[in-house]
Amino acid sequence: MKESEILIKAFKLEAQRKPYERIFIGFKTYTYKEFASLLDNHQKLDKETKKLIQSFLNQALKMFRENEEFRNRMKMLAGVK
């Protein structure tokens, strides 16, 4: 499983656990549920929202690669060893 797939899967599972908790991505606020649906429908989004999602994924990938604690937590959430 690719690193980005692990992150997306972990985020979606976290969204199931706390769907209405607010998160800040860029200068916008979303619920976990709203942002997870954006990840699912990223092909149908406007250019600005796609850029926001890509920026979020790039930052998450950087943390995944550099921070062992974050990497282990994401793998645990995604059910990957």
Would you place residue 1 in the very low, low, confident or very high pLDDT band (cuts 50, 70, 90)? Answer: confident
Residues 32 and 15: beta-carbon distance below 8 Å: yes
Q: What is the pLDDT of residues 28-52, one digit of tens each?
A: 899 999 999 988 887 788 899 899 9
Q: Flag whether pLDDT at 66 surpasses 90.
A: yes
Percentage, residues of the chain above pLDDT 90: 70
Name the burial class of residue 74, with classes exposed (0-12), middle (13-18) and buried (19+) by CB atoms within 10 angstroms of its CB: buried
Q: How far apart are CA 28 and CA 43, in angstroms?
A: 20
Average pLDDT in the chain: 91
Bridge partners of residue 60, in order along the sequence: none
Q: How far apart are the C-alpha atoms of 29 and 77, rounded to whole Å?
A: 23
- Banded pLDDT at 71 (limits 50, 70, 90): very high
